[in-house]
Amino acid sequence: MKKDPIAQFGKWLDEAKQNPAIIEPTAMSLATATRDGTPSVRIVLLKELEENGFVFYTNMESHKSLELARNPQASLCFYWMPLERQVRIEGRAERVSDEQADSYFATRQRDSQIGAWSSQQSRTLPKRVDLLQAISDNISRFEGEVVPRPPHWSGWRIIPHRIEFWQQGDFRLHEREVFTHNIHSNTWEIVNLYP
């Protein structure tokens, strides 16, 4: 196990990506909560692993974004069943820069870019035809042009303060190693937990 949890996570993620039994190795559960503590969880995709955090992109008017804007505490969980591994991450959310969001948006497939303009994510959709019409309208709107990033679309970075690596063991004697960030020394403290 590496002494840097981001490097260790990168190693496990690479191994998950190389395993053909894992269809979407970047899928992660994202847990948010309202200001009063009501939790909500959903699956999102990790798009960038950075030295200081885990980045995903979404509509800034979505349920998750509104919760993160009001209560920036969040948790992530990766579970790679074929490898019998789980990683739990707790941290604080911050928005990525406009430049970083622009750069990532430019790499998306055009249909996904059009979708970002067309979907009013998390709002009530009266009829599916309304979404299909919005897509058609935006295809026409941006015909022959580069699709710019919508102003309501960006990314969140989860800056971890706690990362737990869990490796399944025989007879439920799992290995659990926890990294906790010490903000005063800017170092990671490491402990093992009982399974």
Q: Vertex 91, ends 4 and 162: CA angle to 5°?
A: 40
CATH number, domain with residue 42? 2.30.110.10
Q: Whole domain around residue 97: which residue ranges?
A: 5-193
Q: What b/e readout covers 85-104, taking b as 16+ CB neighbours within 10 angstroms? A: bbbbbbbebebbeeebbeeb
Q: What is the pLDDT of residues 30-71, one digit of tens each?
A: 999 998 999 999 999 999 999 999 999 999 999 999 999 999
Question: Which residue in 35, 42, 95, 172 is the catalytic one?
Answer: 172
Give the pLDDT of residue 172: 85
Give the pLDDT of residue 34: 92
Is the CB of residue 14 less than 8 Å from the CB of residue 63? Answer: no
Give the pLDDT of residue 122: 86
Q: Which of 39, 42, 49, 190 is nearest to 121 (CA)?
A: 42
The answer to whether residue 1 scores a pLDDT higher than 90 is no
Q: What is the pLDDT of residues 121-180, one digit of tens each?
A: 888 999 999 999 999 999 999 999 999 999 999 999 999 999 999 999 888 889 999 999
Give the pLDDT of residue 173: 87
The answer to whether residue 2 scores a pLDDT higher than 90 is no
What is the DSSP annotation of 8-27? HHHHHHHHHHH-TT-S-TTE
| The model's pTM | 0.94
User: How sure is the predictor about 25, in pLDDT bands with cuts at 50, 70 and 90?
Assistant: very high
Is 149 considered catalytic here?
A: no
Q: What is the pLDDT of residues 61-113, one digit of tens each?
A: 999 999 999 999 999 999 999 999 999 999 999 999 999 999 999 999 999 99
Give the pLDDT of residue 4: 94
What total number of domains does the chain contain? 1
Please state the three-class secondary structure of 105-173 as a single string.
HHHCCHHHHHHHHHCCCCCCCCCHHHHHHHHHHHHHHCCCCCCCCCCCEEEEEEEEEEEEEEECCHHHC
Give the pLDDT of residue 170: 87
CB-facing half-sphere around the CA of 37: CA atoms within 13 A: 0
